[in-house]
Amino acid sequence: MLKEKEMKNRIIITTLVVTGMHLVLAISSIVVAISSEMEAFDNVDYQPSAVGRVADHLAVIIMQPGISFWTPWMSKNMPDVVEWGFYLINSLLWGIALALSLNALMVLKEKKLDNDHVLKE
């Protein structure tokens, strides 16, 4: 069984890694969604590509729950630093939730492996 300090370190490292991956995925999906929609300004008969639709849906999903609190007023009146902080906090929230979930799964798996010898006897 892992010691308490090792478990805390594993949760912190997992949180940081997942937070970074979430932030990169969120920004990438937003960039792809916006860039795929740019053709709509030049072409009246524009139909969004499959990649653009997927990126748009992914951006909406991955920015939850933060996007629920963001309003058009905040977009116009808040400094960019606040907006980037909002993105970071949203990604950190996802990172913490996923890190705790992954850690719980790992602990359950380790307990099952530790108890396998009992079942075999």
Identify the band that residue 115 occupies on the pLDDT scale cut at 50, 70 and 90. low
Q: What percent of the chain has pLDDT over 90?
A: 21
**Model pLDDT, residue 98:** 92
Average pLDDT for 8-12: 89
Per DSSP, 42 falls in state: T
The lowest-confidence range among 61-65, 69-73, 95-99, 117-121 is 117-121
Higher-pLDDT residue of 31 and 70 is 31
- Per-residue pLDDT averaged across 80-96, rounded? 87
Number of H helices, E strands in the chain: 5, 0
Q: Compute the radius of gyration of the chain from its Cα atoms.
A: 21
Average pLDDT over residues 48-55: 81
pLDDT at 2: 61
Please provide residue 11's backbone torsions phi and psi, each rounded to the nearest 5 degrees: -65, -45
